[in-house]
């Protein structure tokens, strides 16, 4: 799985759009949020991620136009109780070229891991668009 992370300190100051504006912008670029309340809570907790999430989603949509699905959700690690946002990039077919593009997107977003702060990962879970 191609994966990189973006970390932001809780409470860091940013020019985050209002929460509703963030989700309106995500909707406009066809980013699916399967559990929007979980995503909203996460963004509220780590407000500094708001701009980064929106920019990562915009960059992903440019690289992966429709019908590729972009699904933003909160992932909970059952072993560590860690949570993070994940932007899943889903397609009907997973070629080497597609996977390389997902990895390149994550890399160009300058994403670095930090397990103790809010983060967002860009990766694929090899599901079909619309799959749960």
> Cα(39)–Cα(91) distance, rounded to whole angstroms?
22
pLDDT averaged over 10-residue windows placed end to end, the chain, 132 residues: 44 47 91 91 82 89 97 91 90 97 85 58 93 68
The domain ranges of the chain are 5-123
State residue 132's pLDDT score: 63
Q: Which residues contact 30 (CB under 8 A, 6 or more apart)?
A: 61, 66, 70
Q: Model's pTM, two decimal places? A: 0.79
């Amino acid at each position: 799985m191609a994966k990189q992370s973006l970390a932001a300190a809780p409470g860091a100051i940013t020019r985050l759009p209002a929460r509703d504006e963030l989700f309106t912008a995500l909707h406009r670029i066809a980013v699916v949020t399967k559990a929007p309340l979980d995503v909203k809570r996460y963004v509220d907790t780590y407000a500094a991620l708001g701009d980064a999430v929106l920019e990562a989603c915009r960059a992903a949509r440019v690289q992966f136009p429709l019908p590729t699905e972009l699904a933003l959700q909160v992932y909970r690690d059952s072993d560590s109780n860690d949570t993070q946002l994940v932007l899943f990039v889903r397609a009907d077919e997973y070629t080497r070229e597609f996977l390389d593009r997902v990895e390149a997107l994550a890399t160009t977003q300058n994403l670095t891991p930090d397990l103790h702060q809010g983060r967002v990962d860009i990766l694929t879970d090899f599901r079909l668009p619309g799959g749960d």
